[in-house]
Structure 1
């Protein structure tokens, strides 16, 4: 089993526990909003993620102080308490994975399909609306959330990942297909 699968396997119960807590307290939308804020902050600070939260040399108390200072006034007490539990159980280094898993489960509960889009250039709002409608038809989802990231290495086109399914319309993907086809023909 790859280390990524192990991390996901460990993260899953924490994500489920947070979702159960949020549902029980009827604060799912608020906790989801908190988790998106946490992910946003983590994505902007590699130092916070790598050098502090994942650092085994930092004390539990120091990590809690940094979490309170960083997230305290931006997230609810429920979410903050959950982060403290992650610190106590030495799982705070997995916060990114737990957050992603939580949002995936929360969106599934809301019948929301997540589509991760990698594109060579940013879409305008009309293109995003059109893509959202096409994905709704494809997946029969009530709602679709696009997570768009720009990857200039794609050369042109885009890739869409919905769950384990990947649709690759990028020039880089087409070149790879051609190369693998040529390898098959040449042998």
Structure 2
């Protein structure tokens, strides 16, 4: 259900941002808003409290965010509260962010290696990914997993490219297990 709510509200927010030509601005503001909700659990608890009336919640949100969020985005936040969907604010933000990234062809990539990569190696990985994907730019996160032994594991959305030595050794082991000695 939360997926459907985030899609409906996220799509509406995206369409309004496109219509008003404020997509980049709202993208930045939504990122900040998401961070505020994550770092302030008391705010989320207040907004989700069943005994606090919606009018009081809207007043508090307007007092906090007036002048800090664009009027359109503040209005959207108030609408979310009016509809009682404030508990879905993080998934709505995430959906909107993903939709903007898809529209702007920004790839989100996670690269795992056995050892930390140098700046030159990171640049080559990024250049190669830009050549082989349809993305215009990339947001790349790097992590180290010594159990890989060597090579890389690259995750782009739900796609995984695993060229690690660990995986190759596992494939060889499985192939050897299939062989029957005569």
Measured in 2, the distance between the counterparts of 1:107 and 1:53 equals 28
Measured in 1, the distance between the counterparts of 2:42 and 2:50 equals 14
What does the per-residue CA deviation read over 1:30-60, in whole Å, with 9 as the maximum and x for residues that have no partner?
A: 11111011112223223323x2233333321
Q: Does 1:45 align with 2:40?
A: yes
| TM-score normalised by L of structure 2 | 0.71
Q: Which shows bigger deviation, 64-73 or 121-130?
A: 121-130
| Residue of structure 1 equivalent to 2:28 | 33
What does the per-residue CA deviation read over 1:36-95, in whole Å, with 9 as the maximum and x for residues that have no partner?
A: 11112223223323x223333332123223322333332111111000110011111111
Among 39, 48, 58, the residue aligned to 1:54: 48
Among 11, 28, 45, the residue aligned to 1:16: 11
Deviation at 1:124, TM superposition (A): 7.7
Distance 1:20 1:125, change over 3 A: farther
User: CA contact under 8 A between 1:15 and 1:98: conserved in structure 2?
Assistant: yes
User: CA contact under 8 A between 2:2 and 2:88: conserved in structure 1?
Assistant: yes
Among 73, 77, 84, the residue aligned to 1:83: 77
Aligned to 2:129, what secondary structure does the other structure show? helix
User: CA contact under 8 A between 2:47 and 2:57: conserved in structure 1?
Assistant: yes
Distance 1:134 1:70, change over 3 A: farther
| TM-score normalised by L of structure 1 | 0.70
Measured in 2, the distance between the counterparts of 1:123 and 1:66 equals 46
| Residue of structure 2 equivalent to 1:145 | 139
Measured in 1, the distance between the counterparts of 2:68 and 2:117 equals 29
User: CA contact under 8 A between 1:38 and 1:71: conserved in structure 2?
Assistant: no
Measured in 2, the distance between the counterparts of 1:117 and 1:97 equals 25
Measured in 2, the distance between the counterparts of 1:89 and 1:160 equals 40
How many corresponding residue pairs? Answer: 169
Measured in 2, the distance between the counterparts of 1:80 and 1:112 equals 26
Larger-gyration structure (1/2) = 2
Distance 1:52 1:160, change over 3 A: farther
Gapped runs of 5+ residues in structure 2?
Answer: 178-182
Q: Which shows bigger deviation, 69-78 or 101-110?
A: 69-78
| Residue of structure 1 equivalent to 2:92 | 98
User: CA contact under 8 A between 1:113 and 1:145: conserved in structure 2?
Assistant: yes
Gapped runs of 5+ residues in structure 1?
Answer: 1-5
